[in-house]
Amino acid sequence: MRIVFFGTPEFAVPSLEELLHERYDIAAVVTQPDKPHGRSRSTLVASPVKRVAERAGLPVLQPERPAGDVFLASLRRLDPDLGVVVAYGHILRRELLTLSPRGMINVHASLLPRFRGAAPIQHALLAGESLTGVSIMRMEEGLDSGPVLLQLDTPIGDDETAGQLSARLADLGAQALLTALRHLEEGALRATPQDSSRATYAPKVDRAAARLDWNLQPAALARQVRAFDPAPGAWTLHRGAPLKLFGPSTTEEHGEPGTVLSAGDDLVVAADGGALAVREVQPAGKIRLPVADWVRGRGILEGERLA
């Protein structure tokens, strides 16, 4: 089976590596263009998927958008049997979805129809889900609405962050993809339509969504901190500048929401009905560091207010 692989971030790397390990015929890899990096924005950095593809000697295509006659013609010349999409980052149009005889399948980091959209891992954590997983689905023009071919589930750890969960789901997704491809080649894979009445959505995360509201309950704030670790980082204002918080737990201490109740090994901040404690912080313009190191440098004092 001849495959064109679409993917960009680290989440897609295990799937591509497993396809290579199993010696699938990968005609080409499609990924996003190199991104400017550094203060001057003059250094271009390749995506994690591109770096894997180049090490394996695979052809790499990097269109600004996966559309247009020239791009489609270049794919047709490759004569692929199937497209595999893993966190590519673009919506694909009908002419691309129907280009290969077997269509295109997608590795999605949720148990569809739950959490359709760009940020299923973050939204599962925000919602306090205890179970998540990966879905292999046939792609259609709707948002993650295609029929499901295979699902694997996994529990979410009580203290698990988005970064940790993403790494686990990336490996689980690679496992599910290989299983689905074997079944597909054997003709033993059945597509199950999604129940759209049960669908929930996981829109792209922006910086505003990561801002902490100290009038919320501590458990909700802890979920928010975990959901945005490592990026973009749940944040609040301290002395007028953004302060990111990591490593959350909850306590039964009380005070006016936003007030620093203690600053030692943990930073403890009052919320609605209790308090949020965090082990690490990242002040504006600085690296992520333990709270104790920041406190020793008199970065924060008991009684200050966060907003």
Q: pLDDT tens-digit profile of 239-288?
A: 999 999 999 999 999 999 999 999 999 999 999 999 999 999 999 999 99
Q: In the prediction, which pLDDT does 174 show?
A: 98
What is the arithmetic mean of pLDDT over 22-50?
A: 92
Residue 215 lies in a domain: yes
Residue 43 lies in a domain: yes
Banded model confidence at residue 143, pLDDT cuts 50, 70, 90: very high
**81, 172: one domain:** yes
Tokens 């005609």 locate to: 27
Residue 274 belongs to domain with CATH number: 3.10.25.10
What is the arithmetic mean of pLDDT over 3-12?
A: 98
Task: Choose the final residue of a domain: 198, 233, 268.
Answer: 198
Banded model confidence at residue 182, pLDDT cuts 50, 70, 90: very high
Average pLDDT, whole number, for the chain? 96
**119, 265: one domain:** no
Buried b (16+ CB within 10 A) or exposed e, 91-101: ebeeebbebbe
Q: In the prediction, which pLDDT does 188 show?
A: 86
Residue 169 lies in a domain: yes
Percent of the chain with pLDDT over 70: 100
246 vs 159: CA distance, rounded Å: 11
Mean pLDDT is lowest, of 9-18, 35-44, 224-233, 249-258, for 35-44
Q: In the prediction, which pLDDT does 189 show?
A: 87
Residue 60 belongs to domain with CATH number: 3.40.50.170
**285, 174: one domain:** no
Count how many Cα atoms sit within 13 Å of the Cα of residue 258 in the half-sphere of its side chain.
14
Banded model confidence at residue 38, pLDDT cuts 50, 70, 90: confident
**77, 150: one domain:** yes
Residue 307 lies in a domain: no
Task: Choose the final residue of a domain: 140, 172, 198.
Answer: 198
Residue 203 lies in a domain: no
Q: In the prediction, which pLDDT does 37 show?
A: 83
Q: In the prediction, which pLDDT does 289 show?
A: 97
**152, 16: one domain:** yes
Task: Choose the final residue of a domain: 147, 175, 198.
Answer: 198
Distance of CA 258 to the CA centre of its chain: 29
Residue 229 lies in a domain: yes
Report whether pLDDT(227) > 80.
yes
Banded model confidence at residue 204, pLDDT cuts 50, 70, 90: very high
**13, 116: one domain:** yes
Residue 106 lies in a domain: yes
Tokens 């620093």 locate to: 260
Q: Contact 299/250 with Cβ under 8 angstroms? A: no
Q: Contact 270/221 with Cβ under 8 angstroms? A: no
Report whether pLDDT(40) > 80.
no
What is the arithmetic mean of pLDDT over 190-206?
A: 95
Banded model confidence at residue 96, pLDDT cuts 50, 70, 90: very high
- Give residue 220's domain range: 208-296
Residue 306 lies in a domain: no
**161, 252: one domain:** no
Q: In the prediction, which pLDDT does 53 show?
A: 98
- 150's enclosing H/E stretch is strand 148-155
**51, 138: one domain:** yes
**92, 215: one domain:** no
What is the arithmetic mean of pLDDT over 168-188?
A: 96
What is the arithmetic mean of pLDDT over 301-306?
A: 96
**89, 194: one domain:** yes
**98, 216: one domain:** no
How many distinct structural domains can be found in the chain?
2
Q: In the prediction, which pLDDT does 39 show?
A: 73
**110, 176: one domain:** yes
First to last CA, the chain: 55
DSSP secondary structure code for residue 303 in this structure: T
